[in-house]
């Protein structure tokens, strides 16, 4: 069974490229474009890993991460935060609230695929 990835980003170009890339790697992919939709899609799609943008409408990636970490049913969900905010304080905050990894934009798609596969135990 293929692993499921939920891509959460409000930037269409990033969504398109990540969706293409992850499908090409054999993952089952779903997309959400804001924080509220992300939480609904997690419940519906039950992903193994979340690629989560920080700055989004409705709920930020930080808020989504906190909500998911507060849910015992989502304890095993891997969360990779994607953001243009790469300051140490932002990275520390993301990791402190429960993100498993933090990737700053622009990022190497090749490195992101390696990280995702590694986190899912597929490397």
Chain segment 26-48, per-residue pLDDT in tens: 999 999 999 999 999 999 999 99
Question: CA of 46: how far to CAs of 15, 39, 58, 89, 105, in Å?
Answer: 19, 10, 21, 30, 26
* CATH for 37: 3.40.50.2300
Task: Report residue 91's pLDDT band, with 50, 70 and 90 as the boundaries.
Answer: confident
Q: Does the pLDDT at position 106 exceed 90?
A: no
Closest CA to 64 of 86, 44, 80: 80
| Sign of the C-alpha dihedral computed for residues 15, 37, 27 and 82 taken in this order | positive
Percentage of the chain modeled with pLDDT above 70: 98
Residue 35 domain boundaries: 4-119
- Across the beta sheet with 4-8, what order do the strands follow? 28-32, 4-8, 49-53, 78-83, 101-104
pLDDT single digits (tens) 73-90? 998 899 999 888 667 787
Stated pTM of the model: 0.93
Task: Report residue 115's pLDDT band, with 50, 70 and 90 as the boundaries.
Answer: very high
pLDDT of 1: 63
- Total domains, the chain: 1
């Amino acid at each position: 069974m293929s692993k499921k990835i939920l891509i959460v980003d409000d930037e269409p170009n990033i969504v398109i490229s990540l969706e293409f890339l992850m499908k090409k790697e054999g993952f089952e992919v779903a997309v959400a474009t804001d924080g509220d939709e992300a939480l609904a899609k997690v419940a519906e799609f039950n992903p193994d890993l979340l690629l989560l943008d920080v700055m989004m409408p409705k709920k930020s990636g930080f808020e989504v991460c906190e909500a998911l970490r507060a849910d015992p049913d989502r304890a095993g969900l891997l969360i990779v935060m994607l953001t243009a905010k790469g300051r140490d304080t932002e990275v520390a905050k993301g990791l402190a609230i429960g993100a498993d990894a933090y990737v700053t934009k622009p990022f190497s798609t090749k490195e992101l695929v390696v990280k995702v596969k590694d986190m899912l135990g597929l490397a």
